[in-house]
Amino acid sequence: MTELLLIAIGSALVNNVVLSQFLGLCPFLGVSKKTETAAGMGVAVIFVITIASACTSLIYDYILVKLGIEYLQTIVFILVIAALVQFVEMFLKKYMVSLYQALGVYLPLITTNCAVLGVALTNVQKGYNLIESVVNGIGISGGFTISIILLSGVREKIEHNDIPHVFKGSPIVLITAGLMSLAFFGFSGLI
């Protein structure tokens, strides 16, 4: 149990997926203009990454290792993730209309988000079993959600501030993200 908790905290805060590993940077900078959309994106990412890490972990353990074709992992994972996102979208559209209306817009955006493939590959690299993979997935996507909501909050405030003309637009957002990344360094003593 403590081990699982350590994995979750480690992947959510200490090795934050965006701020220290730069995976999923595009939606992090692109969808963080408003807190509302950032939260929607975050929840969609948690949803997809958790399901994807469970599926890829099962496929790796029970198909790729059994057949001795571990070297095909990149190809298999990217196709599984792409198919999975399409499937989740169709499933939500048919059976969970309210959830689809909340998350539907964000799902196609995550299809080949590098964070999803990144989680699947990290799980394999670290030799996690099914439960550890799912916990790692929740931790990583939780870390993504925390940082995107924090950044969107800061960006809403920045809108009304007096920024040098040259730094308007993307430079100030990048500096904000850099300072957040610096702050997240404080977590490195946690484990």
Q: Does 114 bind other proteins (CB under 8 A)?
A: yes
Pull the structure tokens for residue 29.
């900078």
Q: Does 154 bind other proteins (CB under 8 A)?
A: no
Query: Going by C-beta distance under 8 Å and a sequence separation of 6 or more, which residues neighbour residue 74?
Result: 117, 121
The site map against other proteins for 64-93 (x = CB under 8 A) is -------xxxxx--xx--x-----------
Q: Is 161 exposed, middle or buried (0-12, 13-18, 19+ CB in 10 A)?
A: exposed
Q: Which of residues 26-55 bind other proteins (CB under 8 A)?
A: 26-27, 29-31
Q: Does 59 bind other proteins (CB under 8 A)?
A: no
Stretch near other proteins under the rule CB under 8 A, chosen from 54-62, 91-99, 112-120, 151-159: 112-120
Pull the structure tokens for residue 118.
């990144």
Cβ proximity to other proteins, 98 vs 164, nearer residue: 164
- C-alpha span between 120 and 143 (Å, rounded): 16
Q: Does 25 bind other proteins (CB under 8 A)?
A: yes
In the list 5, 97, 131, 179, the residue contacting other proteins (rule: CB under 8 A) is 179
- C-alpha span between 111 and 174 (Å, rounded): 24
CB 78 within 8 A of CB 56: no
CB of 28 to other proteins, least distance (A): 10
The beta-strand segments (E) located in the chain are none
Q: Which residues bind to other proteins, rule: CB under 8 A? A: 19-27, 29-31, 71-75, 78-79, 82, 108-114, 117-118, 121-122, 125, 165-175, 177-179, 181-182, 185
